[in-house]
Structure 1
Amino acid sequence: MGGAGKDGQVSDQTRRLEVQSLTRAFGGRRVVDDVSFTIPAGQVTCLLGPSGCGKSTTLRMIAGVEMQDAGKIFVDGSLVCDTVFRIPPERRAIGLMFQDFALFPHLTVAENVGFGLARHAPDRAARIGGLLERVKLSGFGRKYPHELSGGEQQRVALARALAPRPRTLLMDEPFSGLDERLRDGIRDETLALLKEEGTAVLLVTHEPHEAMRMADEILLMRAGRIVQRGAPYNIYNAPVDRAAAAFFSDINVLEGEVRGALTATPFGEFLTPGVPDGTAVDIVIRPQHLKIDFDRNGRGPLPTPQDGTAARAVVERARFLGRESLVEFRLEDGGASLKATVPAVFLPKPGTAMWLMLRRDRCFIFPRV
């Protein structure tokens, strides 16, 4: 990644937003710890993590409403803030959108959308009208925020944020206040509009589903640091540790200990090369990658190279969740509890003996911490 020159410029102008070694501490505790990333034009980057991990503080420092203790922020290659130099928030050409929408109740929808535009700009009315049409609110210009639904208010807030044509947009949990049934549709509409505008977007969220649905790149944050970054497919299928895997979905965990580069489990031995003998490890697999077979008088399926040895288990509970069924098992050998998801309806009775196999190509092995 190209760095800043002596004049504060970054050579690659497609880097709409660049953050270098951003750090912030409160009461001696680093809530943002050496965070760096770059967002090019037209990309949606999601800063994802649990509450309190530092993601909103990172966004506020970029917006200019919070001052960093260390690090630099560049917009379109120009330095906007370090620990000495600081451009005020209103001059950073950065759009902001927050979870409460922050619409002005005394202004009409059209006045809200046009708030950030010069009052006598020749294209002001056309810009307002064009954005309202693109967010499917044509004819709503004279209404007031209290006359709108939550989804309509969200679209007004998006239009207002985009009206001044910011090259970078910061979004802090913008969909969290919406009814769950509305979210996916509004997310998709928002994403389409952002792509049309070519805006670089930093979206802060604690919801993995939202990040997976919207992001070109996910930055997974924990305890003030970015612990993993990548495209949604890659970060889901190659988690950096057990906690990263568990953040995106339910997981099953088999505990074991390495002996001679092998770890014994009820499903046979797993290769663990390069791990010292005596190391405790966790073998992690998601519920959808457990395979189920019926018990045939105590005889299980023959082992395969992909699935390995089958283990006998007893059903503890089964529930239908709409798109899939969740079946909870307890292994007869070792007593570990495991969950499996099955498409459509599959509701075996409690106490039913079945055989389970692991998709070994979908297992992750991590040293236990």
Structure 2
Amino acid sequence: MPPSPAASAAPPRLEVRDLVRRFGGREVVGGVSLSVEAGQVTCLLGPSGCGKSTTLRMIAGVDTPDAGTIRADGAPVFDETVQVPPESRGIGLMFQDFALFPHLDVAGNVAFGLKGPRADRDRIVEAQLAKVGMSRFARKYPHELSGGEQQRVALARALAPRPRIMLMDEPFSGLDERLRDDIRDETLAVLQAEGTAVVLVTHEPAEAMRMADEIALMRGGRIVQQGAPYNIYNAPVDREAAAFFSDVNVIRGQVRGALTETAFGQFLTPGLPDGTEVEIVIRPQHLKIDFDRAGRGPLPTAAEGTPARGVVTRARFMGSESLVEFRMDFDGSVLKAQVPSVFLPRPGTPLWLMMRRDRCFVFPVRGGADQPAAR
């Protein structure tokens, strides 16, 4: 009988289960689990101190977990009985500072750590430098290179041993912003061509959205949400997850009969008991602005609810859009609306705002542990 598809499927290139790390009795990584396929880029995203880099170091083998398992192509590299040394794990590393050896030229840096006959090593170095467009710099030294060129050399060096897994700890943060996108795209293309499984650590949501096939959003040493960038952005698990990717507006209300009444009309909040405090979260780009007509605004609609009036306090042009701040009539709160192109109303101008119902997130306030509710 032929094996079932499940039985014949290859294991993930990298599999991490229930990884725990404590320092001085404090748990800095708690129960992290990941599965990364060949050619996949998974991003550990979160604020500084959330456990991203510690997780990366444990996968690399330069830090030892207190609990959990790490497997590469199905074989354990760390568990209760096995601890494979870093140099034997088939894992490449790229760091923020590139860590090039100043006394070695570009070819020497790429060749460092390679084994085998000199001719074979030279062929590998030549091939890797060609992949990253650095062949003509082979005899240059790191101090003679720009930051982007150094990054390419660091990538070639990390790929030279043909690692199954590549770990990248904020490798682009030291680059000029105008250069960063190009270098990221080039790096991603090389890694995908190699079929390498990549774990990228960053605190920049834009970088994660640009590079990752899957994002693991971390907070307090744990993964709070994991999935494709589209899903993470459009279905956040709580207000903090939504706010990590962009500015948000937050409107508070209280549940009455499965509904929450606001100046923007009623919001459905089924399954929550009366009296529950909720936060209605919407991003600035999903607020719609309309003009004031002698104290009247547009009529309510099912898609956008009831309009609410505010007065412009500030308007700024941001390059590709305008950001307009309002002081709302109903409670004095400040809301921000993002408008494509140029829209710069004078401070003091009354305007009306409407909320895209399909773009609102509603979370009950539960001592900081928010859970999503229906819209």
Say yes or no: TM over 0.5.
yes
1:105 aligns with 2:102: yes
- Match for residue 36 of structure 2 among 31, 35, 39: 39
Of 329-338 and 130-139, deviating more is 130-139
> What number of residue pairs does the alignment pair up?
360
Question: 1:211: Cα distance to partner?
Answer: 0.3
Of 179-188 and 80-89, deviating more is 80-89
1:319 aligns with 2:316: yes
Matched letter for residue 256 of structure 2: R
Report matched runs for 1:72-111 at 5 Å: 72-111=69-108
Matched letter for residue 181 of structure 1: R
1:167 aligns with 2:168: no
Aligned to 1:268: 265
- Match for residue 195 of structure 1 among 192, 197, 201: 192
1:25 aligns with 2:22: yes
Aligned to 2:153: 156
Distance in 1, Cα, partners of 2:325 & 2:310: 10
Matched letter for residue 25 of structure 1: R
- Consecutive unaligned residues of structure 1, counting only runs of 5 or more, are 1-9
Question: 1:76: Cα distance to partner?
Answer: 1.1
Aligned to 1:4: none
Distance in 2, Cα, partners of 1:160 & 1:138: 13
Aligned to 1:336: 333
Matched letter for residue 291 of structure 2: F
Q: Deviations over 1:316-363 (max 9, x none)?
A: 000011111110011111112100111111100000000100001000
Distance in 2, Cα, partners of 1:319 & 1:227: 34
Question: 1:176: Cα distance to partner?
Answer: 0.9
Q: SS at the partner of 1:133?
A: helix
Distance in 1, Cα, partners of 2:214 & 2:119: 37
Q: Deviations over 1:65-116 (max 9, x none)?
A: 1011100110111001124421110000000111010001111101111113
Q: Deviations over 1:8-61 (max 9, x none)?
A: xx9853411110110011121110001111100000000111100011000101
Matched letter for residue 296 of structure 2: R
Aligned to 2:52: 55
1:118 aligns with 2:115: yes
Distance in 2, Cα, partners of 1:169 & 1:224: 21
Which contiguous aligned blocks of 4+ residues in structure 1 show a shift greater than 4 angstroms?
A: none
Contact persistence 1:14–1:41 (CA under 8 A): no
Matched letter for residue 69 of structure 2: K
Distance in 2, Cα, partners of 1:116 & 1:350: 63
1:281 aligns with 2:278: yes
Distance in 2, Cα, partners of 1:130 & 1:89: 25
Distance in 2, Cα, partners of 1:32 & 1:115: 32
Matched letter for residue 346 of structure 2: K
Aligned to 1:245: 242
Distance in 2, Cα, partners of 1:84 & 1:177: 39
Matched letter for residue 130 of structure 2: E
Contact persistence 1:116–1:163 (CA under 8 A): no
Aligned to 2:372: none
Q: SS at the partner of 2:94?
A: strand
- Match for residue 67 of structure 2 among 61, 70, 92: 70
Evaluate the alpha carbon distance shift between residue 12 and residue 115 of structure 1 in structure 2; reply closer, same or farther with a 3 A threshold. farther
Aligned to 2:256: 259
- Match for residue 141 of structure 1 among 96, 121, 138: 138
- Match for residue 215 of structure 2 among 214, 218, 236: 218
Aligned to 1:228: 225
- Match for residue 296 of structure 1 among 293, 296, 302: 293
Q: SS at the partner of 1:35?
A: strand
Matched letter for residue 136 of structure 1: G
Q: Deviations over 1:289-338 (max 9, x none)?
A: 00001111112111111001100110000001111111001111111210
Question: 1:145: Cα distance to partner?
Answer: 0.3
TM-score of the two chains, using structure 1 as the length reference:
0.95
Aligned to 1:366: 363
TM-score of the two chains, using structure 2 as the length reference:
0.94
Matched letter for residue 195 of structure 2: G
Matched letter for residue 250 of structure 1: D
Aligned to 1:7: none
Question: 1:129: Cα distance to partner?
Answer: 1.6
Contact persistence 1:69–1:83 (CA under 8 A): no
Q: SS at the partner of 2:109?
A: helix
- Consecutive unaligned residues of structure 2, counting only runs of 5 or more, are 1-6, 369-375
Distance in 1, Cα, partners of 2:50 & 2:101: 30
Q: SS at the partner of 1:211?
A: helix
Identity across aligned pairs (percent)?
73
Distance in 1, Cα, partners of 2:151 & 2:144: 13
Matched letter for residue 108 of structure 1: D
Distance in 2, Cα, partners of 1:100 & 1:290: 41
- Match for residue 174 of structure 2 among 170, 174, 177: 177
